[in-house]
Amino acid sequence: MVRPGVRLVPPPGKQTAKLLFGFLAAGGAIAAVFFILRRQREKRFLREGPRRAPKKPHKVLFGKVEGENRGPRMDALMDPPIELEDPLFWLRDDSRNNPEVLNLIKEENRFTEARTRHSKPFQQKIYADLLRHMKQTDAQVPYLWGEHYYYSRTVEGKSYGYICRRCGSMDAPEEIVLDLNALAKGQKYLDVGEWSPAPPAHALLAYSVDTTGYETYEIRFKSLSEGIRKGWEMRKLTANVACNDLIPGTSGSFVWGNDSSTIYYEKLDASHRPYQLWRHAMGTPTSEDVLLFTEDDERLWMGLDKTDSGRFLVLSLSGKQQNETWVLDLENAEGPIEHSARQLRLVEKRAENVRYSVEHHGEYLYIITNNFKGRECLNSMLVRAPVITPSSAHWEEVFAYDPAEQLKHLTCFRDAIVIHGRAQGYAQFWIYHPPITPCRSRSGKNSDEGTATLKKETHRKVPITHPESVYCVHSGQNRTYESNCFRYEYSSLVTPRRTIDYNLLTGAKTILKQVEVPYYDASRFGCERLEAPSAAPDRRGIPLSIVYKKSVLPEGVSRPAAPLPVFLTAYGSYGACNDPSFDSNRLALLERGVVYVIAHIRGGGEMGRPWYEKEGKFLAKKNTFLDFVGSAEHLVSQGLTAPDRLAISGGSAGGLLITACLNMRGAQLFKAAICDVPFCDVLCTMSDATIPLTVVEWEEWGNPNESAFHDYIHSYCPITNIRPQQYPAILVLGGLHDPRVAYWEPLKYVKKLRENLTADSGQLLLKIDMSSGHFSASDRYKYLREKAFNYAFVLEQLLIFE
């Protein structure tokens, strides 16, 4: 019973619970309000899209500008210069630190994330399919280099591989030369540009590392336990000194001297061009390194290599239209003093429209050139000159020029030379046995013992044949000059990569390994080569390589029962070849009924040098785009696909291709497009010599500071030619640290394109990777997730949801 006048007070526990319930109720209501507001903001964000980029006045000048590099042909520069208004120029930030720009990128990424959130289960399913076809734990075929067998291997769950070796035989204990997973620890990106053990004992390793994606490499060194244990040459260098040497700010390319005392490397200029050759003596500070060569012509790109014999360092200065080569004889050089006494020697002085490359065999330099005694050989021919007198006055023909065969480079062995090239649209190898001359091996010793008894077919080259009509081959690891076997890699659109040894004496082939692709049955898939007429006025025939699941095309591509989903891709620049090789990632599309097509358009090099040099660059560049459009139209006209079932994709210069074709035909011909790191601001980028690669690229696209090239580039430049029309669904990809196609190009493209989309256009998404450069993710699992994201975007547009 409660006394009158006494207020009832709940027990302390119940009072606390009541108060807590009240607070929670109030807090829950507040949280609910915030949740509702957040959902409303997100819906509005999805409906309205990212903010428009503010327009800021900026004039881009084309032509002669005092104090600036506007091109070597001063008399051709427009004077006075002309102006182009670029209100989005401010999106360029070389430091990658401008908060206003970064916020715009992050907003675009957030929009893409929100727009594709619904497809995450589909992305995960595609990722599982990609992973299912990858043998996660695998090893490369070992190859002999010095006294060690080297190979790389991967382990399930590890993002990067291991570079390993065994001494003497594969039965010896394994030594991990480089653990890329350890190198990547704490890094968002990792690329090992090159790695090489020092001759002759392989007791010291040099390797170059980039951890940003910007392709500026640091050369590091590591003492290898095998060399230390044997004590071969570490008596000259302690392990501590070897590991402490560090060379920053390089191109990533380097070459050891004749021993472990000396290494040669390249430095970059302000435009990210390799332009200086330096020599470093191990155990000394880099401040004491010696500059050996500087290339001031910004059109030329420095390259560094060593001949297969190991005798010569080769310094190449290469442009699109000319090059020059110097060699440095390393024979018998021991220690820093002897290396410092060796001098570079010119092979042949540079000349406009003259290209050549050099290899060494016996007492001759073997040279592939496009100009022999003043006669143009566009697809190149093989000549040779004595080592002591290498200039063109002493060049002699090895084979007569054959315009039907393109010669590209050489791999030299003691008893044979392998010629790499192209014929009838495919990569090809020819074997040539030169006259017997004393040779030097990579160890510097005479290597002519026993060669007198071998039968040689002087001045005759024999092709290596291949089992399929549509195929791809490229050189494998060939590190032993004295070997009688040439190792190469073979694959096709349906055949996984094989590692093959070809006996140079008998012609016998040995398949050492075929990459295992889990859950793949090659008999379920077919591939063909067709030809499509270009949309250009000349109607040039364009080769198409096609792969498909047989169940969707039981009678082949010539007799489709109904239009099918097609994924069409191409590159078409720099004379690069997009060959029909195997890619297990492609199976995620093929197994869903998509037909995969590669268009070998002009600007590429698939059909030889003229396909690029005469018909696909400079003032013929539009052929590239019209070839692609013609290929797409042919696929539609033949009933293989329809515009609403056709997706297209290309990266870098291939991204230029795709963005240009979207302006030309839009949604009339294409349903979806992936533009990967697209070079789409051609006009503005090519006018500015401070942007990496610009000056070098003048010999690819032309210089827009000259009237003829300015007008021509203006007529196809993707950003310049955006106009209000119906565009298909487009996914644009970029990398914040990309030095080749800077992030601001895809960003400017998307910002301008979004303002010109008509109401019936497809969705436009931009995804900028904040931790990578031009080549996407370095982590193999992250790379597959990005591939799954891209495929999910395309497949949904093609109405494939499983």
Enzyme catalytic residues? 652, 738, 774
Q: Which secondary structure element, helix H or strand E, spans residue 412, and what is its range?
A: strand 405-412
622-637 and 707-716 helices, crossing angle to 10°: 30
Two tokens at 356? 């050549």
Amino acid (1-letter code) at residue 453: T
Vertex 344, ends 343 and 349: CA angle to 5°?
145
Task: Give how far the C-alpha of residue 184 lies from the chain's centroid of Cα atoms, to the nearest Å.
Answer: 20
Number of H helices and E strands in the chain, helices first, is 16, 38
Please say whether the beta carbons of 223 and 203 come within 8 A: yes
CB 748 within 8 A of CB 88: yes
Longest dimension (CA), the chain: 128
SS3 532: strand
What are the residues whose beta carbons fall under 8 Å from the beta carbon of 758, sequence distance 6 or more?
Answer: 724, 725, 726, 727
- Per-residue buried b or exposed e for 744-776, using 16+ beta carbons within 10 Å of the residue's own CB: bbbbbbbbbbbeebeeebbbbbbbbbebbbbbb
Cβ(650)–Cβ(569) below 8 Å: yes
Residue whose tokens read 């495929």? 791
Give the burial class of 29: count Cβ atoms within 10 A of its Cβ; 0-12 exposed, 13-18 middle, 19 or more buried. Answer: exposed
| DSSP per position, 110-151 | HHHHHHTGGGHHHHHHHHHHHHHTS-SSEEPPPEEETTEEEE
Distances in Å between the alpha carbon of 547 and those of 556, 582, 640, 729, 745? Answer: 10, 10, 12, 24, 33
Q: What residues pair up with 487 in beta bridges, in sequence order?
A: 501
User: Cβ neighbours of residue 334 under 8 Å, at least 6 residues apart?
Assistant: 258, 259, 261
Nearest to 154 by CA among 783, 788, 790: 783
127 Cβ contact list (under 8 Å, min separation 6): 784, 785, 788
- φ, ψ of residue 680 to 5 degrees: the values are -115, -5
Decide: 725 and 758 in contact? Cβ < 8 Å.
yes
In order, the DSSP letters of 660-707 are HHHHHHGGGT-SEEEEES----HHHHTT-TTSTTHHHHHHHH--TTBH
Asked if residue 70 lies in contact with residue 53, where contact means CB atoms within 8 angstroms, the answer is: no
Before 563, cis peptide (omega within 30)? no
CA 745 to CA 677: how far, in whole Å? 8
Going from the C-alpha of 363 to that of each of 316, 366, 478, the distances in angstroms are 20, 10, 21
DSSP 8-state secondary structure symbol assigned to residue 458: T
